[in-house]
Amino acid sequence: MKEVGFFQSVRLKLILVYILLLLLGIQVIGVYFVDRLEEQLETNFTNSIEGQLNSLTYSLQNAFNTERGEDSLPLNYDLQSLLNDFSDDNTDIGKLWVVDNNQKVIAATTTSDQSPIGKKVTDSAITKVFLFGEATEPKPWREEGTNNRLFRGTNPITDESGEEIVGALYYEVYMNDIYEQLGEIISIFAKGTVLAITVTALLGILVARTITKPLTEMKRQAQVMATGDFSQKVDVKGNDEIGELGHTFNDLNDKLKLATATTEGERRKLSSVLSNMSDGVIATDRLGAITLMNAPASKLIGQTFEEVQGQSLVDVLDLNDQVENISEVEEAGSMIIDLSSDDNHLLLKANFSVVEDENHDMNGFITVISDVTEQQRVEKERREFVSNVSHELRTPLTTMRSYIEALNDGAWQDPDIAPRFLDVTQNETDRMIRLVNDLLQLTKMDHKETSLMKDRVEFVSFFDHVIDRFEMNKSEKVEFVRNMSNKNMYVWIDKDKITQVLDNIISNAIKYSPEGGSIRFSAHSTKKQLRVSITDEGIGMPPDTVDKIFDRFYRVDKSRAREMGGTGLGLAIAREMIEAHHGKIWAESREGKGTTVHFTLPLMSQKRRGQS
């Protein structure tokens, strides 16, 4: 047998593994250390600069608000002096611009040769300050041309009252010093790494030699066993892994006897795996005839293996409309199969893979099928949601455009028409704002970004307070009837969120209540739950639409809902909030008889009430 060279030996591999493991550990620590150090340096730097910039902003604000006489220097001279003093004290400053409320630069310091003073700027960060009145959060930036790292932002400058924006301070600050320090630290860390690897290599040689010496002895014994002489045994000198390897050599003869039994066991394991897979598996021969099928596949296609054995895969999965013969299945790779019936909607996704023999010739197919009905339903709902949002926004936008065009054509001069057109435009704008706010709230709920600020609340008094607020502003032609429990019922809730739920439900009840009708409020305990019911005497709804009113954008009476400013999202938000409180919400309704909305919330236990 050919002798193993050093470069192919286990000894070298152990040394390399030893070094690589150490190197990996050092690199992981180094990456974490450098990342945290960089973050800390940036944080300290930005905090320091932001403090100084806030102080400069305050000085600029005083300059703007100082009354100037005839003998006083112009405002831009004072502003320029403040910027120059600040720049002299801070060498990292790249740009400082003071912009007035006309978005013109009236004072500036910059490293550029071109002065921006007197020019109008259209930077979005500056525009946002004048639009929203808030400072723009500093953001990392790379300077064009030099690729220097800096961060830039904008601070508003207000009048003495703090309400009117009179100017803005735009700044760019270089961060090169931070990264120069970081580079020096990385260099020191790299030198330490090289030293550690050198020491590790020397130690690795000693350790590897200790491990490989008994392995060499075992190799000689294995060569003797390879000649057919099984009388000799490996001399086991320890109880570690190498000792276990020696025992394995000694048990080799016994293991060979069990080879056939092991093969049978592996076959049974494979059968068990196929039977317990959640996805269906169908195997065919090279002609496409079914030779194997597990239980999930039988359940999905509704036929047993005995019924389909030997049949063509194309016929069993009803692929005749998508492929002409089995050879095209390989090219398809995967496809969606519709096996729906009148009573059951079923969509399957089939993934096809080729089985090759030892000569790499196609010997059959393995088909994995899974139920994607729910996935397709969710995708359909997503498309419908996008369509609904587009429609809901298009309607008010179209209305606004028509009225604005009429105003542009001269209607603004008509004292009777112009206010009415502007009122319609404002109402449509408000409706779009409500729609966008509701969409943002639902999005946060979907992504679990809305946190609940729960507190211990006695619900009856809380419910009465909400109803009182509506009763003060309701129409005199609608009567409120309360049927509350006499005992205190405590719940662990976010008061703001549950108030929004009640507002949405009560607002809907008032909208759809006829003149002279009544709205009934009920709150009672059932076992460990609080049950709340709000009943109106409105138009009601058909039984097949009751469960849909909690879907997004669903309206029973679309025209009336839009006239009243509804977005179609109120009850959807209510459902999300109730479910976030581990409750349940549902509705009962009859056409012409009104609607009742129920929801439940978990009651606090006596023990928890005492602790609270």
Lowest mean pLDDT among 31-45, 214-228, 277-291, 520-534: 214-228
SS3 label, residue 123? coil
- pLDDT, greater one: 108 or 548: 108
Hey, what CATH topology would domain 376-446 get?
Helix Hairpins (1.10.287)
pTM of the model: 0.38
Q: Give Cβ neighbours of residue 429 (< 8 Å, ≥ 6 apart).
A: 396, 400
The pLDDT tens digits of the residues spanning 152-182 come to 888 888 877 777 788 888 888 877 777 777 7
Every domain range in the chain assigned CATH 3.30.565.10: 455-611
- pLDDT, greater one: 50 or 485: 485
Per the DSSP assignment, residues forming a β-bridge with 353 are: 366
The CATH class of the 1-226 domain is alpha beta
Residue 370 has pLDDT above 70, yes or no: yes
Lowest mean pLDDT among 112-116, 370-374, 561-565: 561-565
Residue 259 has pLDDT above 60, yes or no: no
CATH 3.30.450.20 fits 261-371, yes or no: yes
- Measured from the Cβ of residue 196, the count of other Cβ atoms closer than 10 Å reads 15
Confidence band for 532, pLDDT divided at 50, 70 and 90: very high
Residue 260 has pLDDT above 80, yes or no: no
The distance from CA 57 to its chain's CA centroid, rounded to whole angstroms, is 37
CATH 3.30.565.10 fits 455-611, yes or no: yes
Per-residue pLDDT at 550:
75
Cα-Cα-Cα-Cα torsion 286, 291, 294, 300, nearest 10 degrees, comes to: 70
Confidence band for 308, pLDDT divided at 50, 70 and 90: confident
| Tokens found for residue 151 | 């961060």
Per-residue pLDDT at 238:
67
- pLDDT, greater one: 141 or 288: 288
Phi, psi of 516 (to 5 degrees): 85, 0
For residue 555, the one-letter residue type is R
Average pLDDT, the chain: 76
Residue 376 has pLDDT above 60, yes or no: yes
Per-residue pLDDT at 590:
83
Residue 479 has pLDDT above 80, yes or no: yes
Every domain range in the chain assigned CATH 1.10.287.130: 376-446
The pLDDT tens digits of the residues spanning 65-109 come to 777 666 666 777 778 778 887 777 776 777 888 888 777 888 888
The pLDDT tens digits of the residues spanning 439-461 come to 666 666 665 656 778 889 999 99
Q: What b/e string do you get for 30-66 counting C-beta neighbours within 10 Å, with b at 16 or more?
A: beeeeeebbeebbeebbeebbebbeebbeebbebbee
Longest dimension (CA), the chain: 117
Every domain range in the chain assigned CATH 3.30.450.20: 1-226, 261-371
Confidence band for 598, pLDDT divided at 50, 70 and 90: very high
Per-residue pLDDT at 533:
92
Calculate mean pLDDT across residues 530-554. Answer: 80
Residue 465 has pLDDT above 80, yes or no: yes
Lowest mean pLDDT among 32-41, 496-505, 597-606: 32-41
Residue 49 has pLDDT above 60, yes or no: yes
- pLDDT, greater one: 541 or 139: 541
Residue 406 has pLDDT above 90, yes or no: no
Lowest mean pLDDT among 38-42, 231-235, 508-512: 231-235
User: Percentage of the chain with pLDDT > 70?
Assistant: 75
